[in-house]
Amino acid sequence: MWGSRSRALFGLSSTAIASTFATLRFLSSGFSRCDDQSNPLLDQANALRENNKPKIKTPPDFEGCKNSFQYVQTNSYDGFRFIVQKQINLNSLVNHFFWTGAKQFEGGSFYQYRVILPLNDNTTVIDASTTMDSEVSINVKQTLSPQLKLECNMDLKSQQPKSIAFDLNYQDSNSTLTGQYVESASRLFGFAMTQAITPELTVGASTLFNFKKPSLLKSFYASYDKDDNAISALIEENKGFKALYLRRVNPGRVNVFTDLQTNGKGESLTNLGAEFTLKASKLNMSVDSNLTWRSTLDTQVMPGVNLSFAAEINQREDQYRYGLSLQLM
């Protein structure tokens, strides 16, 4: 009797254990299936987070870094400028530039005719211009590969030494290298490099050797750009030191900036400027430590018609000048 009961209990226990293991196997398979299934919303959030992380970008060449220091002082002018730009086809265009009433030109007038011709699916671009004094400038850019570009500049001026320059530019994901050869009144050879160390920090250096008057000029550049603030510094041998600070008050709309410039003679100049970008216009203004105020207003009157006003006042010397520009496209 006890043997039959033991066998019955053992059978029930075995059935219960088997049922328990079957249930665990079912649950574990269900959990594994849930783990294998990805959550589209979570994947999108992770991808967006990765895209929003600061990434190292290819820095501009050393010459472009130097030109950024011209950003602070507003580019004012005097006289009347009339510009007509006509597109020949989808890529080519011609430009007529007439400027009168300007003090910096002998006779007070200046005219330039310019044509831009892209060739070979835009891998070759020819930019040529001439003036009334037959001063011809030709710029040819050749794309050798996605990373390698060759540029040639020729200035054929009647009253100044003719010059020709070759620039070979190589860019990768975080650096830019430039080699330059110039043949003019001086024979120059230069090499420059800019390197993005982090998404915020960029450094650069440049050397320029003069063959006719043996000398080596060195320049160094550094910039730190994070969020709404950017600071840059440039040291040029025999030319001095420049520092620039930019504050993006409203990115894409309102920027304020200041800079400090010194030369080899120990003289210094400070500028304070602001830029306001509106719906159909842009206002730039600046004042320097010599109390020279400059401002320009560029506005689009209608599609294809742009109007610009410029003013400059020097309070110390009681001098002023005004300019007006009309551009038709």
| pTM attached to this predicted model | 0.77
Q: Within this chain, do residues 70 and 43 fall inside the same structural domain, yes or no?
A: no
Q: Within this chain, do residues 43 and 177 fall inside the same structural domain, yes or no?
A: no
Q: Is 134 helix (H, G, I), strand (E, B) or coil?
A: coil
The CATH number of the domain holding residue 175 is: 2.40.160.10
Considering only residues 58 and 42, tell me which one the structure prediction assigns the higher pLDDT.
58
Q: Within this chain, do residues 77 and 27 fall inside the same structural domain, yes or no?
A: no
Q: Within this chain, do residues 70 and 113 fall inside the same structural domain, yes or no?
A: yes
The DSSP bridge partners found for residue 129 are 114, 137
Question: From CA 40, how far away is CA 262, in angstroms rounded?
Answer: 57
Q: Within this chain, do residues 229 and 282 fall inside the same structural domain, yes or no?
A: yes
Residue 65: Cβ within 10 Å count: 23
Q: How long is the chain?
A: 329
Instruction: Identify whether 157 is part of a domain.
Output: yes
Instruction: Identify whether 314 is part of a domain.
Output: yes
- Going from the C-alpha of 63 to that of each of 60, 114, 219, 234, the distances in angstroms are 8, 23, 11, 11
Q: Within this chain, do residues 141 and 276 fall inside the same structural domain, yes or no?
A: yes
Q: Specify the number of domains making up the chain.
A: 2
Q: Among residues 62, 71, 61, which one has the least CA distance to residue 259?
A: 71
Residue 156: Cβ within 10 Å count: 14
Q: Looking at the chain, which runs of residues are DSSP E strands?
A: 79-87, 93-100, 109-119, 124-131, 136-143, 148-156, 163-171, 175-183, 187-196, 201-210, 215-226, 229-236, 240-250, 254-262, 268-277, 281-288, 292-302, 305-314, 319-328
Q: Among residues 72, 133, 84, which one has the least CA distance to residue 105?
A: 133
Instruction: Identify whether 57 is part of a domain.
Output: no
Residue 238 scores a pLDDT above 90: no
Residue 60 scores a pLDDT above 70: yes
Summarize pLDDT for 12-36 with one digit per residue, the tens: 455 544 455 455 454 445 444 444 5
Summarize pLDDT for 71-106 with one digit per residue, the tens: 788 888 889 999 999 888 777 889 999 999 887 777
Residue 111 scores a pLDDT above 70: yes
Summarize pLDDT for 170-223 with one digit per residue, the tens: 999 899 999 999 998 889 999 999 999 999 999 999 999 998 888 889 999 999
Question: Which region, left, alpha or beta, applies to residue 107 given φ > 0 means left and ψ of -120 to 50 means alpha?
Answer: left
Q: Within this chain, do residues 142 and 27 fall inside the same structural domain, yes or no?
A: no
Considering only residues 26 and 300, tell me which one the structure prediction assigns the higher pLDDT.
300
pLDDT of residue 50: 65
Instruction: Identify whether 200 is part of a domain.
Output: yes
Q: How confident is the model at residue 9 (pLDDT cuts 50, 70, 90)?
A: very low
Q: Within this chain, do residues 136 and 226 fall inside the same structural domain, yes or no?
A: yes
**Average pLDDT of every residue of the chain:** 85
Q: Within this chain, do residues 70 and 42 fall inside the same structural domain, yes or no?
A: no
Q: Is 299 helix (H, G, I), strand (E, B) or coil?
A: strand
Q: Could you list the residue range(s) of the whole structural domain that residue 128 is in?
A: 62-328
Question: From CA 162, how far away is CA 277, in angstroms rounded?
Answer: 40
Q: Within this chain, do residues 23 and 161 fall inside the same structural domain, yes or no?
A: no
Question: From CA 46, how far away is CA 239, in angstroms rounded?
Answer: 49
Q: Within this chain, do residues 34 and 164 fall inside the same structural domain, yes or no?
A: no
Q: How confident is the model at residue 228 (pLDDT cuts 50, 70, 90)?
A: very high
pLDDT of residue 241: 93
Q: Within this chain, do residues 72 and 152 fall inside the same structural domain, yes or no?
A: yes
